[in-house]
Amino acid sequence: MTLVLVGAGGHAKTIVEMMTANGTPFTAYADPQPADWLDLPQVAEDAIPEGAAFVVGIGGVTPAALRGRLGVLDALCARGLAARDAIHPSAIVSASAALAAGAVVLAGAVIQPGAVIGRGAIVNTGAIVEHDSVVGEGAHIAPGAIVLGGCRIGACALIGAGAVVLPGGKVAPDALVPALSRAAA
């Protein structure tokens, strides 16, 4: 099966390492710029073969960038391509958690029982999503951030590195919870 990496910047490096560790290496990458660190054929995004699966390797550290990232995922899915979720082998994901298409869970992240990770969302290195929390589509839980039990994180919201969303907290779509801060219910 053809598996294409979409985007080849810094965030993509973690995705490539993760998928290789999972035994599902990429067969090509799509990025407007050549990536000298990748030993793969480069293809145009509109030339990804029909029936291919893909993982979005584009990062996003602002809600606007996360909207753009989600737009790339949606456009490729609309063409009939299959968005793969990507889970690092060192991540802990509860059997009762639900991950939607294109979700990315990086090294050392923990997803607890009853949690829902939306389409195209990123749970970054060492982040924790506690029980019964919902992370909206395209949202990014940055490295070391903690989303405590029963929270609702809106679409394309960014929970900054080391931030904590307190139990039952609600974060609006396209919101930014700054790094090292706390968000209350």
Q: Cα separation of 60 and 35, whole Å?
A: 19
Q: Which residues lie across from 170 on neighbouring strands?
A: 152
Q: Which two tokens stand for residue 6?
A: 């979409």
Q: Cα separation of 132 and 98, whole Å?
A: 10
CB-CB contact of 149 with 165 (8 Å): no
Q: Which residues lie across from 83 on neighbouring strands?
A: 54
The residues assigned a catalytic role are 131
Q: Cα separation of 142 and 122, whole Å?
A: 8
Residue 151: phi, psi to the nearest 5? -85, 160
